[in-house]
Amino acid sequence: MIEFGRSFGEPNYGGAVAATKCALEGLGGEPSLVVAFSTANYSRVLKGIRSVTGAPIIGCSASAGFTDEKSGNDCVVVGALQTDEMKLYPGISKGLKDDATEAVTASATSAPSQMKGYPYKSMIMLIDGLAGKGEVATVPLILGGYSVVAGGASADKLEFKYVPLWKDENIATDAVVSAFLTFCNRSQAWTHLLGKSEKLQRQ
């Protein structure tokens, strides 16, 4: 199950707290992973999220955000994923420009090479939008064994100056952030990420 919260306006500690609480209310418990996007004030936003949950956090900078009712250039968006049928291993690695393959591989080093009962692999991958390495999205598929790879790139309202990514409180550029997932069958990844969310939480 995945639920969302968002806060429009200048991103800050309080907005991040509100967005995170909104997402967690839909879950009814502690998430397995939090995915967070912010258009500014990244450190303060991450501190706000951390004050609400101890779950692993991944995410990146964004140029804007939207829901089915509203969009804005200043916002915090938080997605909270909860599952006991998949195993998740978030990671971060720098050096994307120099060696994309190594950066992607290093971001997934926390995951075991084999997981009994969870033979299928997937990856959520976020990359530095200024690295010029969009082809990195194919690396997990080339390395083999991945059923699905999904993700995106960090952005900064078309200023092209600073597009950080993060894992927990570790903020970096020229980086890859990933969440390595293992699951029982090929359909579970999309079922859990997309199929069981009943509503978009609104703040």
Give the pLDDT of the chain (203 residues) as one tens digit per residue. 889 999 999 999 999 999 999 999 988 789 999 999 999 999 999 999 999 999 999 999 999 988 777 888 999 999 999 987 788 899 999 999 999 888 988 888 877 766 677 777 788 899 999 998 877 776 666 556 666 678 899 999 989 999 999 999 999 999 999 998 887 766 665 555 544 444 333 33
Based on the domain organization, do 106 and 164 belong to the same domain? Answer: yes
| Pair (72, 111) in one structural domain | no
Q: What CATH number is associated with residue 149?
A: 3.30.1330
DSSP for residue 195: I
Number of domains in the chain: 2
Burial of residue 68 (number of CB atoms within 10 Å: 0-12, 13-18, 19+): exposed
Q: Which of 26, 59, 82 delimits the end of a domain? A: 82
* Residues 74 and 110 grouped into a single domain: no
Q: State the residue range of the domain holding 66.
A: 2-82
- Identity of the residue numbered 190: W
- pTM for the full predicted model: 0.87
Same domain, 123 and 171: yes
